[in-house]
Amino acid sequence: MKRSILLVLAALLLSLPLLAQPKIVAHRGFWRTAGSAQNSIAAVQKAAELGIYGSEFDVWITADGVPVVFHDAVWDGMRIEDSKYTDLMNKRLGNGEFLPTLQQYLQYFAKTPYIRLIFEIKTHKTPERNRAVTEMGVKLVRELGLENRTDYIAFSKYVCEVLHEITPKSNIAYLSGDLSPQKIKEMGISGIDYNHKVFIEHPNWAKQAKALGLEVNVWTVDGEEDLKKFAAMPGIDLITTNDPDKLKDILEKK
């Protein structure tokens, strides 16, 4: 009798789905380490060496139509989308690298096959420029054969709509945090990528999103306490962090 009960219990346990750990995304690459800098090529390399899921980066287009990888709208007193590439190209990142063009960045990434790109399209001044940067970015990704390794994120609802129009099979997530999971589902895009404060304010959104078949990413989670909290939160698929090494260590200990 005991043996039969144990066999039934074992079968029930084996039938339960395993709780998957969230995947790790390095915010602007793994830059909090020697020889690296935010959105640098070294940051992608170091994220890949860390053995994590993905590396996030940010893209603007210059006034003369060159997509470049940088986070802030203004660099050294120059607004990137109002500046020519020739005026920016010789500026150096914190680790000594020159400002990378999107093409240079993607060409390097193509040589590091063990990590995924999380491609953030920055919000530009006009719908025309937002469409232009989106179309140029997707075109370069396709030309380099990276469609199956690239996810897209954006704060602009319009950019997400353009992405869904031109690359509907890609993973696309909205960043602004002002739309419910149901609204995102109605847009036809694949996920939400919201600031950690949004999930505190709306504690049911992660579960709602999963019930709707959406992917859930949370940003930017740093510090051991918050990393542990969101690593244990039901419904979180990915965690974007400036401390990918710390999160990896936390998850490995779990």
pLDDT digits (tens, 9 = 90+) for 182-230: 999 999 999 999 999 999 999 999 999 999 999 999 999 999 999 999 9
Cβ neighbour number for residue 93 with a 10 Å cutoff: 21
Q: What is the mean pLDDT of residues 18-39?
A: 93
How sure is the predictor about 36, in pLDDT bands with cuts at 50, 70 and 90? Answer: very high
Give the residue extent of every domain in the chain: 20-253
pLDDT digits (tens, 9 = 90+) for 95-150: 999 999 999 999 999 998 889 999 999 999 999 999 999 999 999 999 999 999 99
pLDDT digits (tens, 9 = 90+) for 148-162: 999 999 999 999 999
Q: What are phi and psi for residue 176, nearest 5 degrees?
A: -70, -25
pLDDT for 11 equals 46
Highest CATH level, class, for 20-253: alpha beta
Q: How far apart are CA 119 and CA 150, in angstroms?
A: 7
Question: Over the chain, what is the mean pLDDT?
Answer: 93
Helices of type H across the chain: 2-15, 41-50, 85-88, 102-109, 127-143, 157-166, 181-187, 196-201, 205-211, 224-231, 244-253
Predicted structure pTM score: 0.92
Q: How far apart are CA 101 and CA 44, in angstroms?
A: 14
pLDDT for 13 equals 41
